[in-house]
Structure 1
Amino acid sequence: MTTTNLSLPETGSLRAGPFDLGYRIEGSGTPLLVVGSAVYYPRTFSDRLRQRIKLHFIDHCGFAPAHAAYTLDDIGFDVVLGDIERMRRHLGLDRFAILGHSGHGYMALEYAKRHPQNVSHVIMVGTGPSHSADHMALADSRWGEMATPERKAIFDHAMAAFGADIAARPEERFKSLLIRLGAKSWHLPAFDAAPLWRDVTVNNPVFDHLWREVFRDIDIRDGLHRLAMPVLLALGQCDYLVAPAETWDAYRRNFPDLTVRMFERSGHTPQLEESDLFDETLLAFLAR
């Protein structure tokens, strides 16, 4: 599950408030904007995809170096969505597909609601309907019922070390948590995700606010009537981080055009875990 770059990428940064948002452009073909980290996410997509897709990886403020102190007003959801639009203009993108993985799926979907004239397709990968208490409780129940004893033992061993991670590197708490949650995140429960996170900047207050508050309370049904473009939802069978796939059933009728694809040998990141099948699925979806 590794990738290498086919050619030298185009990289740069954009000043947005107190943050320097990085970007990285790789590949050729259909433009696809990937919201999240311009350092982490290029490591999760295949070289094959880069032969057909021009991938524009962009930071949001959760992954961007800060050149000044910031407050909650600088990291709100509206600010993040505004930064995506600012980056779109900076990169000269007129019409493109947008992809968000995990909580970034909400960013991709909400951006498309606000700027439907710019977006041809929306792809949400490893995203639950919300991070509400009810949805997270269902994720926990599924873990308790479906995870093997081996997977649970690996999880317990990893989480026992999380306290030491925080003590040693408190500024990387969010990153350390995601690495330690590997047994809930990957089809292979002992997979070490640490190399994927190497040199990735993480601003804990941004994730605390967005993941624990905004995405807890979000109702993705708001504004879905404005979507004319198709939406692809890619889920992993072994993803225990988000609500179970069946929780999406209550939302399907609100989407004008929704395709749901389950990846049987993936956890939270099917674009890396089943890259061949993911690429095939994505390319077919974008060709619609």
Structure 2
Amino acid sequence: MSKYQIVISDGFELKYCLKGYGKPIVVVIGSSIYYPRLFSDYLYKKFQFIFLDHRGFVKSSRALNLEDYTLDKVINDIETARQRLKLDQFIILGHSGHAFMAVEYAKQYPDYVQRVVLLNSAPTNSEERQRQSFSFFNETASSERKEHFGKDIVLLEEDIKRDPDRRFVHMCIRMGAQSFYDYTFNAAYMWNDVYTNMPIIDYLWGEAFGNINLIQSLAYVHKPVFIGLGRYDYLVGPVSLWNLIDNSYENVKKVVFEHSGHNPMFEEPHYFDQVLIEWFNETN
């Protein structure tokens, strides 16, 4: 059972969804509509999740300036929601680009964060890292995967021309062959009813996340950290980008899901649930 409510921060109406039961609280930053579709019912019996919008997934109530969508503003939104929900201690989870938000929040507000879960993010979204991921796909993907990707990606331009306000969504759908272990999987239904505020998303993904290196940032996070990566995640791979997370990061547990792309919680739910719960128990 899930329940939607709204917290207002700086004029943005951020929706959040409560789903699951259990004492531990997990705050998943991103879209409160999209992310509940990715986790298993079993996990909702072990944790209560709070799926929280950030302002990149809600309509603006005013004309926006650049200062309206800095990363610090997003972090302030999370803190506003924490205060509204009266959370004293919680786990913060960020998937893909939202991992940058999770780590930045944990750095700025360490007193409230018990643990940090980072899923399927590269250490940075710099242009150089994007080139590395592009080369990883070209050099290691199967010919069948590349062919399927080629057939889908040529349709992206027409998708965007027809519906430019959902450019981010169309891109995510058309890049499925780089996103999923099963490269034929069509994830379009996951994005139903998801609104995207493109100026905010463009800035965060295009600029803010390119100026952060999570490996360096994690040196300032002194809480247990779980990093989950998909072996076939061609969007932010290869997993070797995280090799600098070594024994000096004693608080970090890194797990590679061998039969997953960008969404191991959806692609390998049983194994994902098992290792996440084990990590939680180990660090309790």
Same fold (TM over 0.5): yes
Deviates more, 1:107-116 or 1:221-230: 221-230
Any idea what the Cα deviations from partners look like across 1:192-214, whole Å, max 9, x if unmatched? Answer: 11100000010111111111111
Deviates more, 1:146-155 or 1:65-74: 65-74
Q: Of the candidates 91, 109, 117, which is equivalent to residue 115 of structure 1?
A: 109
Task: Report whether the alignment pairs 1:146 with 2:140.
Answer: yes
CA apart distance, 1:218 = 1.0
Quick check: 1:36–1:63 contact (8 Å CA) kept in 2? Answer: yes
Letter in 1 for 2:147: A
Aligned to 2:21: 28
Q: Of the candidates 99, 124, 127, which is equivalent to residue 130 of structure 1?
A: 124
Quick check: 1:224–1:254 contact (8 Å CA) kept in 2? Answer: no
* Alpha-carbon separation, structure 2, partners of 1:251 and 1:55: 27
* Alpha-carbon separation, structure 2, partners of 1:88 and 1:12: 13
Task: Report whether the alignment pairs 1:272 with 2:271.
Answer: no
Q: Of the candidates 65, 88, 91, which is equivalent to residue 85 of structure 2?
A: 91
Quick check: 1:21–1:65 contact (8 Å CA) kept in 2? Answer: no
Question: 1:256–1:85: structure 2 CA closer, same or farther, 3 Å change rule?
Answer: farther
Identity among equivalent pairs (%): 37
* Alpha-carbon separation, structure 2, partners of 1:212 and 1:47: 34
Residue 22 of structure 1 aligns to a residue in which SS? strand
Any idea what the Cα deviations from partners look like across 1:142-190, whole Å, max 9, x if unmatched? Answer: 1011111111111111111111111110000011000000000001111
User: Unpaired runs of 5+ in structure 2?
Assistant: none
Question: 1:38–1:132: structure 2 CA closer, same or farther, 3 Å change rule?
Answer: same
Q: Of the candidates 150, 153, 178, which is equivalent to residue 156 of structure 1?
A: 150
Residue 243 of structure 2 aligns to a residue in which SS? helix
Aligned to 1:261: 255
Deviates more, 1:97-106 or 1:65-74: 65-74
* Alpha-carbon separation, structure 1, partners of 2:278 and 2:39: 16
* Alpha-carbon separation, structure 1, partners of 2:218 and 2:262: 24
Task: Report whether the alignment pairs 1:10 with 2:3.
Answer: yes
* Alpha-carbon separation, structure 2, partners of 1:259 and 1:251: 9
CA apart distance, 1:275 = 0.6
CA apart distance, 1:222 = 4.8
Aligned to 2:46: 52
* Alpha-carbon separation, structure 2, partners of 1:142 and 1:221: 20
Q: Of the candidates 99, 102, 106, which is equivalent to residue 105 of structure 1?
A: 99
CA apart distance, 1:45 = 0.5
* Alpha-carbon separation, structure 2, partners of 1:63 and 1:53: 24
Q: Of the candidates 181, 192, 195, which is equivalent to residue 198 of structure 1?
A: 192
CA apart distance, 1:219 = 2.5
Quick check: 1:130–1:219 contact (8 Å CA) kept in 2? Answer: yes
Letter in 1 for 2:186: D
User: Unpaired runs of 5+ in structure 1?
Assistant: 1-6
Question: 1:240–1:174: structure 2 CA closer, same or farther, 3 Å change rule?
Answer: same
Letter in 1 for 2:46: R
RMSD: 1.3
Quick check: 1:35–1:59 contact (8 Å CA) kept in 2? Answer: yes
CA apart distance, 1:18 = 3.6
Letter in 2 for 1:75: Y
* Alpha-carbon separation, structure 2, partners of 1:220 and 1:121: 16
* Alpha-carbon separation, structure 2, partners of 1:17 and 1:167: 32
Task: Report whether the alignment pairs 1:40 with 2:54.
Answer: no
